[in-house]
Structure 1
Amino acid sequence: MPKAAVDEGALEFRVDPPDAHLPASASRGDVSATDTTVAAARPEDRPRFDPSVAARRFVTLVESELAHGRAFLFAPVFLGLGSVLWFSAYETPRPAIYQTCLFVSLVLAVLLRHRSRVLAFSAAAAALVAAGMWLAAGETARKATVILDGPVTVDLTGRVVSREAVTGGGWRYTVDVVSTERPVLKRPPERVALIARGPHEAFADGQGIVGRARLSPPSGPAMPGLTDFAFSSYFQEIGAIGFFYGAPRPAVLPEAAAKGLLASAYAWIGHLRIVIGERIRSIIPGDAGAFATAMVTDERRAMTRETAEALRLSGLAHIIAISGLNMALSAGIFFVGFRMLLSLHQGLAQAVPIKKLAAVGALAGVTAYYLLSGSAVSAERAWLMMSIMLIAVLIGRPSISIRNVAISALVILVMAPSDVMGASFQMSFAATAALVAGYALFRERKEDDRQISALPSVAFVTKSWRFFWGIALTSIIGGVSTAIFSVAHFQQLAVWGLPANLAAMPVVSFIVMPAGLIAMLLMPFGLDAWPLRVMGFGLDLVIDIAREISSWGGEGASGLLPPFVFPLVVTGFLLLVILKTELRFIGAALIAATFAATFLVEDRSPPSIVISESGDLVGIVGANTVATNRENPPSFIFSQWRRALDGPDHIKPVMMPDGAGKRAESQPRRRELTAEEAEAARHAMAGALAAGEAGRFTCLKRLWCIARYGETMTDDIKIAVVEDAAFVESACMSADIIVTPVRLRRSACPFNPVSTGNGDALIDPVVRGAADDSLTGAGVANRPRLFTGVSLARHGSIAIRFENGFQGRAKIETARNGSERPWNLHRLYDWRSDRFLDDAEASMSLDISDSGE
């Protein structure tokens, strides 16, 4: 066979003679010589890897990608990368840096656009990264949310912005704060979210509300490396969360400023959402009614915890959110329905493009659905993508394309750059991009069974098979593409997601969504009862499926990923989905290499001790266990711990009977014990340590808990959790690590009564917050470490790891890590001086006792 060779630079072809690659003896017909020579080819005659050829080949492939218009698809990637870099920076980047980079990169991109596509693309990418940072800075400055610095109970007067039904009755109100009393807050949040469970008539939007309320700042990470809810609250403009004591009362407020037309329209839509939600729940009782309300108006808090947990464990929780699935089904039903109705009139079908008219009707339908959903972030993304796809139908372009996904992402990143940090944004676009790319591959396959499918006897079977195969394939692609994001953000995977979706999605597609859309169309005429009951029937089936599959077990807790895994896998995923040439296989290789590296590199050991930022929950981590100081730990924090620690079993504390170590009930509550009470408390703590099981707390209810982390009494670490501040001194005499939720001003025990097993101090008394920062006792007074409510609120949750057993060397990691970004700046606020303290001032102030010593 002639051998054709290609010169990549000149793109010229040459054809060698048939025997040009053989030795002379072979060309003369010496077959035996030919066989011998070919079989024993010399190493120097074998083809070698030429870096210059590989480089030219790479440049050629990049040029091909650019020629296919792939450069535009990377625009949202680089824009989002800039926002991620800005939000993740340890300190707020200086504007001059990214503004200069933006200007220089734009100039270079313009100058190089006719000289080198690759260099121009690189300059444009740098400009997009800088633009992403600029947009992130602008959104942060625009929000400027005031976040409460610490828990407080106040008389609050405000104006209701919106309301949402919650589980077990009651309402969750979003309230604009007008005033606070008892005490008057020096730095009150402008907007709060409060739950009211006391019996009362629901407040309407814009109505005044007053009541005694408990306010708390949004929770930070439950453990270093987990989700910071203060970040999302900052960009949702919620400065505090909490609840009313009892039922709130109406308040007479000054007349609000007259609303503009747009604000009035939003207020009317908000009232309509409430009316629709109440109507649905009046027809569909129980969890099915809450489920239906969530799918229509995005009110998700009325569902019981058991049902919500079943949906989460079974992988069906995505049905609740108004996202791509719901919007696509509604758009599809509107589009097909309008097109069928228009096609009934033959003259109309021949005179006008009914496909485009149907697209207009579907666009109006999904827009109404989006407005009724309350304009949630996930609904906004789904509506935007569906709108672009329907507009593409109107202008005669492909409706389903990766370019439409890129346009949607660009619009959202320009409007709200902070969305890029959220799991909802990442998972939504990852699933959509993967499905579009997978659809493009399967669309290229030829249909070989058209004649067979045309037979009436097999048409139904074929279509049914394709439907269920489509659901399975969609579930597989969606599940695989979002798995890394689920593990990174929630530390879990839905093990039984595929069978759950195969069983539930036909019900949702053929019963729930059509009935729901019919009910919404008939509701203005009062004819919505029967379609709502059909919808409720379908949702009851979905709930039954979720409960059955969740009972199979397999929660799929994955633990924390090594830091390098997430960015590398996401990079590989983007290359695999976006690129068109064989360069996309670089993405697949990167993903495979990253997962292989996770098995080759040394695993990062889980923390030995974890402390919540409130200080009222402490965990001792063992092999597949976590022992806490609470018999029933707060589920919000503990569920995150379990997922991050790979699903360990909970070990409850041993509760001591009342007796020694408890101060006299007749004594008033005070910060100090008498000498006799202090001695009895120390004796009780010592007895609990001696009799207690290693790695398990022993507690005196509402006073203190104590445990030892280690195998023997000579080389272990002793941990005490003190609820009553009067016992802090006794705990300092008995333990190495003392945690109290009480907001004490001092941050260290003022004496040196106890040491670690080898006589060294355990930890430097000032938390510096750097991850993997080794803190030893060199040059530090030999005293235990005290974590108070003040220091924990300032630095966030704590993870402690011990090296080489329990020989006094420890690594501390704090959730805040010392950064001073706008969403955690409230941690440095000192209400006494009404100013923000830097870390050095905060640490110095914490080392001063109440007496000023």
Structure 2
Amino acid sequence: MGKLALRFIQWLKEGQGQVVLKHLIDELDQQRGHLFGWVPIGLGLGIGLYFHLKVEPSLSILLTFAILGIAASLLVLKSAPSLSPILLLCILCALGFSIAGLRANWVAGPVLEYRYYGPITGRLINIDRSFSDKIRLTLDQVHLDRMAPDKTPKRVRISLHGDQRFITLAPGMTLMTTGHLSQPSGPVEPGGFDFQRHSWFIGLGGLGYTRVPALELRAPEKGSSLAIFRARKAISRGILAGMQGREAGFAAAIAVGDRANLDQETVHALRDTNLAHLLAISGLHMGLLTGFVFTLIRLIFASVPYVALRLPIKKIAASCAMIAAFAYLLMSGASVATERAFIMVMVMLGAILVNRRAISLRAVALAATIVLILRPESLVSPGFQMSFAATTALVAVFGAWRNVRLPETWPRLPKFLQPIIGVAASSAIAGLATAPFGAAHFNQIAQFGLIANLASVPVMGLIVMPGAVLAGCLAPFGGAWIGLWVMKIGISWILSVAEFVAAMDGAVTYIPRPDTAVLPILSLGMLFLIVWRGRVRWLGVGGVMAAILLWFQVERPQMLVSESGNLFGLMSKQGRILSHAKGDGFVASAWPENDGDGLDQSGANNRAGLVTADKVVLAKFGSQKILITRGKYAPEQIAQNCHKATISILAQKAPEVDGCRILGRAELKKLGSLSIKEEKGELVILGAKQATGRRLWTR
């Protein structure tokens, strides 16, 4: 390594190296005045490096790495100012790495170490719905029977099954039940979405369910700690009482972030038409709300000449919009997506207060920087990636278009068409920018999403959000029903559009999950194309093309096994075949989605290709045979049939049988979900925990 460094230094001193160095310095000089856009990119590189590690760095390493990196870079800055942009990027990488590690340690909390069944007591702090469409409760101040306080999770989440008529849920109430809890599960396959990491950063230490009726132990406590949650639920109840039908659940979701009353059919229709972003209180909602308030206040003041001529009405309108944004942040539950949108809006409105351009790449970069410093884990979330991809693309394209000077002989668009063209162009640009991220995370592309958005987003901005503001303003006087009536008209249209477009032939195309390197390469290519100044920027196109090529070459695992050991999926020419028609529902839906296959669990189980006899399932690929069974008598069945297979898998303790390779509960707990393939006649097994490594959230 030292010899290579010396050779590189020597090459730089020689003629060819000097030429390259001069070109590099010239390119860097062109970036002067445009370097701030690289701040979030540098932070993101460091954060991405932290999350990519297989071993958790210690706190001392994090602090030392940051301090020494900054100190060394500052010393070099004085001796080589012409290369300062590159050195500053290194500083930002070091800071991003340290910020991510310190944040992961800061949010650390107890996580269940074993499966728990028994009494569960806790304070209700959130209500939503699970993947199986059951009411789901998040509890804090948790007490578990025979578990020490320092081992008890700070928060747990339980789904309510069975008869739950004996309780009326209220924010802040302390309830008790008897149920099952376990630690958050790892990825459904090696390299997949890491729910353990997600749970770590939101403070969830246990997940489970109960079939026993939940009972109220203590009435909601008085005080301000849950005042906002109570206010949100009160608003949600008011919306549900004043607006009947499926529109009420949609209205509650966009007003206060309460999705407990949304039915799954509506959610699927919105997702299949690329309209699901309307449910997430993010940049669109915050932008529409603050834009409406800003415009309304400015028009009111502008209509009074005496005020308009003497007061800075634009800044007053921006201040009022800031207040509205903060109120919306609180009432929506202050989710990560809403916080991100709030920061972006505050940066842009703040620019108006200091006489700067509100919408610019610098403002977007500042918002991204603040988000990454406060919540570095957002970098790997689809919300962050899609939100900033859309915003950056819109600002870059419209900024470039603003500098275009069309010949005077060209015809001009009529004024009434300009807003329509603007909405269409915005939807198309945002759709193209977010499409690869949506396809990578959700494994599908809504073919007619542009049509659905063109028909729905204007209605959202012109009818639904103004109706929500009107309902909020009239609520103290008993006139909220007027605003709710206006909202319902717009929401009904949006849901009708979603259902109509979702029912069209070919509405959804399923896409296989890309390799983990695809999105970073794609993102860096797109950012380089937008942020860099000069002709060299077109090198970013090469990065984008390389990412797409890598995506097309993705190979899905021949065999996948769930962490529970109760399900496996064999890849065939017709798609993945699942071993069972029921059980491990979330895993069974995720695997076909990751394959780019829209078939459900029952349909995937009906595919031919597996040999089943007496609950024992045998899969063959290449020269390999894998046997799996489940149920009370699984150990005995494995012991009797394991000689027929290369490897046998079961959810219980593995029996010891001479000449058989068996993976049981202990092995699966150590490895996590499995990816199995054949290489050169040998079976290669990779566990999800091996792929993730030894991190804080996997211990």
TM-score after normalising by structure 1:
0.74
SS in 2 for 1:375: coil
Do the aligned partners of residues 450 and 174 (structure 1) sit closer, same or farther apart at CA in structure 2, a change above 3 Å counting?
Answer: farther
Aligned mate of 2:349, from 349, 366, 390:
390
SS in 2 for 1:153: strand
Report what 1:731 is aligned to: 641
Decide whether the 8 Å contact of 1:291 with 1:539 is kept in 2: yes
Report what 1:705 is aligned to: 616
Report what 2:441 is aligned to: 489
Decide whether the 8 Å contact of 2:627 with 2:642 is kept in 1: no
SS in 2 for 1:816: helix
Q: Given the alignment of the two structures, is residue 814 of structure 1 paired with residue 687 of structure 2, yes or no?
A: yes
Report what 1:336 is aligned to: 295
Amino acid corresponding to residue 665 of structure 2 in structure 1:
G
Decide whether the 8 Å contact of 2:121 with 2:174 is kept in 1: yes
Once residues 515 and 648 of structure 1 are traced to their aligned partners in structure 2, the CA distance between those partners, rounded to angstroms, is 37
Do the aligned partners of residues 614 and 751 (structure 1) sit closer, same or farther apart at CA in structure 2, a change above 3 Å counting?
Answer: same
Once residues 356 and 591 of structure 1 are traced to their aligned partners in structure 2, the CA distance between those partners, rounded to angstroms, is 40
The superposition leaves residues 340-388 of structure 1 with CA deviations (integer Å, 9 ceiling, x where unpaired) of: 1111211111111111111111111111111111101000010111011
Amino acid corresponding to residue 619 of structure 1 in structure 2:
G
Decide whether the 8 Å contact of 1:147 with 1:240 is kept in 2: yes
Report what 1:205 is aligned to: 171
Do the aligned partners of residues 287 and 224 (structure 1) sit closer, same or farther apart at CA in structure 2, a change above 3 Å counting?
Answer: farther
1:125-140 aligned within 5 A: 125-140=89-104
Q: Which stretch has the larger CA shift, 436-445 or 167-176?
A: 167-176
CA displacement at 1:281 relative to structure 2: 1.5
Q: Which stretch has the larger CA shift, 395-404 or 79-88?
A: 79-88
Q: Which stretch has the larger CA shift, 177-186 or 621-630?
A: 177-186
Decide whether the 8 Å contact of 1:170 with 1:199 is kept in 2: no
Report what 1:573 is aligned to: 526
Q: Given the alignment of the two structures, is residue 511 of structure 1 paired with residue 466 of structure 2, yes or no?
A: no
SS in 2 for 1:719: strand
Amino acid corresponding to residue 626 of structure 1 in structure 2:
R
Once residues 708 and 540 of structure 1 are traced to their aligned partners in structure 2, the CA distance between those partners, rounded to angstroms, is 48
Decide whether the 8 Å contact of 1:487 with 1:558 is kept in 2: yes
Structure with a larger share of its residues in helix: 2
SS in 2 for 1:823: helix
Decide whether the 8 Å contact of 1:311 with 1:317 is kept in 2: yes
1:276-355 aligned within 5 A: 276-355=235-314
Once residues 572 and 640 of structure 1 are traced to their aligned partners in structure 2, the CA distance between those partners, rounded to angstroms, is 29
Once residues 146 and 538 of structure 2 are traced to their aligned partners in structure 1, the CA distance between those partners, rounded to angstroms, is 64
Decide whether the 8 Å contact of 1:694 with 1:708 is kept in 2: no
The superposition leaves residues 827-847 of structure 1 with CA deviations (integer Å, 9 ceiling, x where unpaired) of: xxxxxxxxxxxxxxxxxxxxx
Once residues 719 and 502 of structure 1 are traced to their aligned partners in structure 2, the CA distance between those partners, rounded to angstroms, is 51
Once residues 186 and 401 of structure 1 are traced to their aligned partners in structure 2, the CA distance between those partners, rounded to angstroms, is 48
SS in 1 for 2:300: helix
Instruction: Give the gaps of 5 or more residues in structure 1.
Output: 1-48, 454-460, 656-691, 753-782, 826-853
Report what 1:62 is aligned to: 28
Once residues 320 and 533 of structure 1 are traced to their aligned partners in structure 2, the CA distance between those partners, rounded to angstroms, is 19
Report what 1:230 is aligned to: 196
Q: Given the alignment of the two structures, is residue 120 of structure 1 paired with residue 84 of structure 2, yes or no?
A: yes
Amino acid corresponding to residue 59 of structure 1 in structure 2:
I
Amino acid corresponding to residue 170 of structure 2 in structure 1:
A
Amino acid corresponding to residue 695 of structure 2 in structure 1:
R
Do the aligned partners of residues 563 and 822 (structure 1) sit closer, same or farther apart at CA in structure 2, a change above 3 Å counting?
Answer: closer
Decide whether the 8 Å contact of 1:284 with 1:532 is kept in 2: yes
Do the aligned partners of residues 206 and 598 (structure 1) sit closer, same or farther apart at CA in structure 2, a change above 3 Å counting?
Answer: closer
Once residues 326 and 447 of structure 1 are traced to their aligned partners in structure 2, the CA distance between those partners, rounded to angstroms, is 34
Report what 2:544 is aligned to: 591
Amino acid corresponding to residue 276 of structure 1 in structure 2:
I
Amino acid corresponding to residue 467 of structure 1 in structure 2:
P
The superposition leaves residues 722-743 of structure 1 with CA deviations (integer Å, 9 ceiling, x where unpaired) of: 222443322324433322223x
1:15-94 aligned within 5 A: 55-65=21-31, 67-68=32-33, 70-94=34-58
1:661-672 aligned within 5 A: none
SS in 1 for 2:417: helix
SS in 2 for 1:243: strand
Instruction: Give the gaps of 5 or more residues in structure 2.
Output: 1-14
Do the aligned partners of residues 164 and 525 (structure 1) sit closer, same or farther apart at CA in structure 2, a change above 3 Å counting?
Answer: farther
Report what 1:610 is aligned to: 560
Do the aligned partners of residues 589 and 167 (structure 1) sit closer, same or farther apart at CA in structure 2, a change above 3 Å counting?
Answer: closer
SS in 1 for 2:151: coil
TM-score after normalising by structure 2:
0.90
The superposition leaves residues 544-579 of structure 1 with CA deviations (integer Å, 9 ceiling, x where unpaired) of: 211222222343222132344322211111111212
Once residues 186 and 380 of structure 1 are traced to their aligned partners in structure 2, the CA distance between those partners, rounded to angstroms, is 30
Amino acid corresponding to residue 737 of structure 1 in structure 2:
I
CA displacement at 1:398 relative to structure 2: 0.4
Q: Which stretch has the larger CA shift, 584-593 or 566-575?
A: 584-593
Aligned mate of 1:525, from 447, 468, 477:
477
Aligned mate of 1:717, from 622, 625, 633:
625
Once residues 73 and 537 of structure 1 are traced to their aligned partners in structure 2, the CA distance between those partners, rounded to angstroms, is 42
Do the aligned partners of residues 574 and 649 (structure 1) sit closer, same or farther apart at CA in structure 2, a change above 3 Å counting?
Answer: same
Once residues 93 and 43 of structure 2 are traced to their aligned partners in structure 1, the CA distance between those partners, rounded to angstroms, is 5
Do the aligned partners of residues 166 and 538 (structure 1) sit closer, same or farther apart at CA in structure 2, a change above 3 Å counting?
Answer: farther
Decide whether the 8 Å contact of 1:217 with 1:241 is kept in 2: yes
SS in 1 for 2:462: helix
SS in 1 for 2:262: coil
Once residues 693 and 249 of structure 1 are traced to their aligned partners in structure 2, the CA distance between those partners, rounded to angstroms, is 44
Report what 2:671 is aligned to: 795
Do the aligned partners of residues 80 and 351 (structure 1) sit closer, same or farther apart at CA in structure 2, a change above 3 Å counting?
Answer: same
1:416-565 aligned within 5 A: 416-446=375-405, 462-552=414-504, 553-565=506-518
The superposition leaves residues 298-338 of structure 1 with CA deviations (integer Å, 9 ceiling, x where unpaired) of: 12243111211111111111111011111111111001100
Once residues 252 and 488 of structure 1 are traced to their aligned partners in structure 2, the CA distance between those partners, rounded to angstroms, is 45
Amino acid corresponding to residue 694 of structure 2 in structure 1:
E
Once residues 467 and 286 of structure 1 are traced to their aligned partners in structure 2, the CA distance between those partners, rounded to angstroms, is 32
Decide whether the 8 Å contact of 1:626 with 1:648 is kept in 2: no
Q: Given the alignment of the two structures, is residue 625 of structure 1 paired with residue 575 of structure 2, yes or no?
A: yes
Once residues 367 and 380 of structure 2 are traced to their aligned partners in structure 1, the CA distance between those partners, rounded to angstroms, is 16
The number of aligned residues is 679
Decide whether the 8 Å contact of 2:589 with 2:601 is kept in 1: no
Once residues 103 and 138 of structure 1 are traced to their aligned partners in structure 2, the CA distance between those partners, rounded to angstroms, is 13
Aligned mate of 1:110, from 74, 98, 119:
74
Q: Given the alignment of the two structures, is residue 415 of structure 1 paired with residue 374 of structure 2, yes or no?
A: yes
CA displacement at 1:465 relative to structure 2: 2.4
Amino acid corresponding to residue 378 of structure 2 in structure 1:
D
Do the aligned partners of residues 710 and 405 (structure 1) sit closer, same or farther apart at CA in structure 2, a change above 3 Å counting?
Answer: closer
Once residues 516 and 491 of structure 1 are traced to their aligned partners in structure 2, the CA distance between those partners, rounded to angstroms, is 33
1:631-646 aligned within 5 A: 631-632=581-582, 634-646=584-596
